[in-house]
Structure 1
Amino acid sequence: MNSPSKIIVGSAEWLTLPSLNVPAIKARVDSGAKTSSLHAFNIQSFKRNGETWVHFDVHPIQKNRKTTVRCEAKVTDRRIIKSSNGEREKRYVIRTTMELAGENQSIDITLSNRDNMGYRMLLGREAMQGRMLVDPSEELCHGDRSPEQITALYGNPEPKLEGLNIGLLASNPDLYSNQRIIEAGEQRGHHMHFLNIKHCYLKMDAEHPEVLSRGGKSLNNMDAVIPRIRPSVTFYGCALTRHFESLGKFALNTSDSISQSRDKLFSMQLMLKKGLDIPTSGFANSPMDTHDLIEMVGGAPLIVKLLEGTQGRGVVLAETKKAAESVINAFKSLNANLLVQEFVKEAQGKDLRCFVIDGKVVAAIERTAAAGEFRANIHQGGTASIVKITREERTLAVKAAKCFGLQVAGVDIIRSRKGPLLLEVNSSPGLEGIETATGKDIAGLMIQAIEKRLGWKPTAPNT
């Protein structure tokens, strides 16, 4: 018989963590999970009176990375936790006070980055045992919190900037990707600077070389730069990046790695040299060789790609040999350089975008072509969804990024009867599609890669 002292909770509830100075956080109530978990990042351990403590940051409000609470707590344990996606992770465990429905209790909480989860906190059965009954058909049995109430509790604090000077070398400050990178860097305490490529220029001088912005402001105080160079300004953008590198500044992607990945023909030759599988492709200079070019990729249907094309533009599906000859010869009459590539029918208009940061695949999505299109491209109406990639696909993506020396790369792969095949490696991959589909803080992971390389850590509390 159920005890009348137990409180009824729904599938989600607002609660308070007073010892961590978190006045409100919405938790997913999950009796299937043993231990409770709290979203935490910038986790750093330190010693206090001979005991292990951690300080960490929390974004307590879902889909809000501006509101940040700095917390610290004594470590009670380290546990291997298997997440819902099957990954195993060793986490710090802390014991803290939780307030729910007017009652306080001490609970164990593991610390983990939950940016890709639906809630910033998960309330597990250890915290509920003997105290709560779950009604999964209900939600927020003990009240909701309005946006106005949340603002009253947390205010609108500006992040404290005490970190690195990081320049984002790009063209459009209004792009989602660029805004997210600036936001992520500021949230982690860094001074972020948008450096418009067209407004920057360089001074080559033996005694005092400089990179300057319009008006003569020196940019030599940058600790690191994040090049996000659109194809139309590759030459100049790489020249600026190379100058920053010569000044001893860390570039998240180097000028050489960007230049190599942008040259489609050279990049495919380099991938082949490294033993990486690509679709069978052909390249020729003269229209006299069109017939042989078509035959070497297995005939029609086939893909014709302009070497200067970007984001799916300049890519044509030729369904018959006659159509292929017409497209190839038309492009060659304009003195355009092109590749001919086998059409992988079994891919069914889908490809994989693997996002690689610092030698690891941190997220992957499957992109599906829009109706009437043959190539997956979210810039042209395609869709993106989370996908579980195979070990072979993961290895291929990591090797492809390493092949060009890219710290950050979007690696495009298609699935074929022969196994995964590399389509392209992008040195300035967009963040919107992959962050929206996966919920992961990809921009934050890019900033963390810079911190790791430069050995930067958040300021530890006084011990």
Structure 2
Amino acid sequence: MKKHIIGSEEWCGFPTLGIPAIKARVDSGAKTSSIHAFNITTFRRDHELWVSFEVHPIQDDRKTVVRCERPVVDKRRIKSSSGSTESRYVVAATLLIAGENYEIELTLANRDSMGYRMLLGREAMNGRMIVDPSESFLMRDVSRDELDEYYGKPELPQGGLKIGILASNPNLYSNKRLLEAGQERGHDMQFLNIKHCYMRVDDKAPEVHYRGGRILNDLDAVITRIRPSMTFYGCALARQFESMGIHTVNSSSAITQSRDKLFSLQLMLKSGIGIPTTGFANSPMDTGDLIDMVGGAPLIVKLLEGTQGRGVVLAETKKAAESVINAFKSLKANLLVQEFIKEASGKDLRCFVIGNKVVAAIERTAAPGEFRANIHQGGSASVVKITPEERKLAIKAAKALGLKVAGVDIIRSKKGPLLLEVNSSPGLEGIETATGKDIASMVITSIEQKLRWQRPIGLQQDA
């Protein structure tokens, strides 16, 4: 059998899936091929397990969607390039490449954050293809005009809201997703760099200006995604928008409360929410008693200003705890000490709350050698079914801080679920990738509902 020479990236097709063209990364290091899939749902057909899923076949284009249905071949634990493992459904489909059709297996995975919508593994290539990694598109290339002919040219609906995203990095996954989701629903989305905004504080004509003198008073809503280092100025801008009658998600007061870790924990206790036993002191002379009051070592030391797992240290012995605490205090850093929940085994829950509902939940597992689950530092995430008690705790915690959109972190202990912290600017990448859910669109929908906005009649069908 003649083998085709292919490059490190090639255009493929899947006639049985209704996908005429999709760009694939050719990877002989991966055993099974994988395709981008979201909204993955299983169902029964003639006593057989099937799966329905949707595909964005074109990179950086979330407006083009193909819906697919296939029988489930298997469900496997797949190890990703980052070292984490996740459970994926496997389907069979006909691959069209080099003018020939081959039946191959595909795992379904959310590849939104990856460079290619498809990965072509070695099982599909065995006996059929040879890879020349120095070349690309040896079989064929596909132009934008051809893609438009295959899938149709998507048109954005018009007549929507004017929504600003108040943040610092337009290239951050979460910010890009919110911009895309709003545009897909017909809204005028604007990225507003916090550093480029300035305000006129006036009781008769308050204004927010953007670099170049553009006035932002005509916005309908602002999605506040303020990084910790910009909390003071970002919240000042949010208050200004609020004084102008512009809806903010989340409010300045809610963000301020969530960023003060000690105050937020005190608010949790006031609302009847359980937390790990926590201590706080100012003087190094109180270190010994501070350690004893949380149950002794091992214990956790947290900087009040830390985020995404930074500024969090596990002290395994009393001596180590004293050294860490006194070192931080010598730097005049505010810190908390907290009991170590050994039975959690380096796992925690991230519940994504919008309004009064947990819309998605994942379990995060610490990277090998780490004690805390953090996907920013090599940890992994998987879909998890939370208990009614955990769901209630997450909703109650977000409500206690006044947050309409929040990432609530919970740890499972022998005493039941305990709150770790609440994030007022939760990232979307980890939870969208793990669950396959379109969380960004849910955030936009919550704004529409708050402002009682309805799609123009001609666009209702697309809602």
Does the 8 Å CA contact 1:61/1:120 hold for their aligned counterparts?
no
Does the 8 Å CA contact 2:39/2:436 hold for their aligned counterparts?
no
Residue 169 of structure 2 is matched in structure 1 by 172
Q: Tell me which of 9, 16, 26 is aligned to 1:13.
A: 16
Pair 334,30 (structure 1): closer, same or farther in 2 beyond 3 Å: closer
- Code of the aligned partner of 1:176: Y
Residue 110 of structure 1 is matched in structure 2 by none
Q: Deviations over 1:207-260 (max 9, x none)?
A: 211011011110001000000000001010001011101111111110000000
Distance 1:34 1:147 in 2: 38
Q: Tell me which of 428, 432, 443 is aligned to 1:435.
A: 432
Asked whether 1:185 is paired with 2:182, we answer yes
Does the 8 Å CA contact 2:271/2:400 hold for their aligned counterparts?
yes
- Code of the aligned partner of 2:174: S
- Code of the aligned partner of 1:314: G
Residue 233 of structure 1 is matched in structure 2 by 230
Asked whether 1:341 is paired with 2:288, we answer no
Q: Tell me which of 280, 287, 296 is aligned to 2:277.
A: 280
Does the 8 Å CA contact 2:70/2:92 hold for their aligned counterparts?
no
Distance 2:278 2:93 in 1: 56
Distance 2:142 2:435 in 1: 25
Residue 456 of structure 1 is matched in structure 2 by 453
- Code of the aligned partner of 1:373: E
Q: Deviations over 1:300-325 (max 9, x none)?
A: 00000011111111111000001111
Distance 1:270 1:407 in 2: 16
Residue 66 of structure 1 is matched in structure 2 by 62
Give the deviation of 1:151 after TM superposition.
Answer: 3.6
Per the alignment, in what secondary structure is the counterpart of residue 362 of structure 1? strand
Q: Deviations over 1:63-88 (max 9, x none)?
A: 8763358xxxxxxxxxxxxxxxxxxx
Pair 66,147 (structure 1): closer, same or farther in 2 beyond 3 Å: farther
Distance 2:91 2:343 in 1: 42
Q: Tell me which of 139, 153, 167 is aligned to 2:93.
A: 139
Does the 8 Å CA contact 2:42/2:51 hold for their aligned counterparts?
no
Distance 1:147 1:431 in 2: 31
Residue 200 of structure 2 is matched in structure 1 by 203
Alignment of 1:239-250 (within 5 A): 239-250=236-247
Per the alignment, in what secondary structure is the counterpart of residue 13 of structure 1? helix
Residue 366 of structure 1 is matched in structure 2 by 363
Does the 8 Å CA contact 1:167/1:222 hold for their aligned counterparts?
yes
Q: Tell me which of 104, 120, 134 is aligned to 2:67.
A: 120
Give the deviation of 1:33 after TM superposition.
Answer: 3.6
158-167 or 275-284, larger mean C-alpha shift: 158-167
Pair 290,184 (structure 1): closer, same or farther in 2 beyond 3 Å: same
Does the 8 Å CA contact 1:65/1:187 hold for their aligned counterparts?
no
Residue 423 of structure 1 is matched in structure 2 by 420
Q: Which runs of 5+ in 2 are unaligned?
A: 1-13, 20-36, 72-89, 103-140
Q: Deviations over 1:396-432 (max 9, x none)?
A: 1011111111110000001000011000000000111
Pair 179,30 (structure 1): closer, same or farther in 2 beyond 3 Å: closer
Q: Which runs of 5+ in 1 are unaligned?
A: 1-10, 17-24, 40-57, 70-118, 125-135
Identity between Structure 1 and Structure 2 (%): 64
Residue 32 of structure 1 is matched in structure 2 by 44
Residue 394 of structure 1 is matched in structure 2 by 391
Q: Deviations over 1:259-312 (max 9, x none)?
A: 000000000000000000000000111111111100010000000001111111
Residue 348 of structure 2 is matched in structure 1 by 351
Distance 2:424 2:372 in 1: 20
Pair 173,341 (structure 1): closer, same or farther in 2 beyond 3 Å: same
Give the deviation of 1:123 after TM superposition.
Answer: 7.2
Query: What TM-score comes out, normalization by structure 1 length?
Result: 0.73
- Code of the aligned partner of 1:32: R
Pair 33,241 (structure 1): closer, same or farther in 2 beyond 3 Å: farther
Q: Tell me which of 243, 255, 258 is aligned to 2:255.
A: 258
Query: What TM-score comes out, normalization by structure 2 length?
Result: 0.73
Distance 2:263 2:459 in 1: 53
Asked whether 1:321 is paired with 2:318, we answer yes
Distance 2:149 2:373 in 1: 45
Root mean square deviation of aligned Cα? 3.2
Per the alignment, in what secondary structure is the counterpart of residue 425 of structure 1? strand
Q: Deviations over 1:112-164 (max 9, x none)?
A: xxxxxxx834479xxxxxxxxxxx985349979x9776542223434133200
- Code of the aligned partner of 1:342: E
Per the alignment, in what secondary structure is the counterpart of residue 276 of structure 1? coil
Moved over 4 A (4+): 25-31, 34-39, 58-65, 141-144, 146-150
Per the alignment, in what secondary structure is the counterpart of residue 418 of structure 2? strand
Residue 220 of structure 1 is matched in structure 2 by 217
How many pairs align?
Answer: 367
Asked whether 1:331 is paired with 2:306, we answer no
Q: Deviations over 1:26-54 (max 9, x none)?
A: 99998824799988xxxxxxxxxxxxxxx
Residue 130 of structure 2 is matched in structure 1 by none
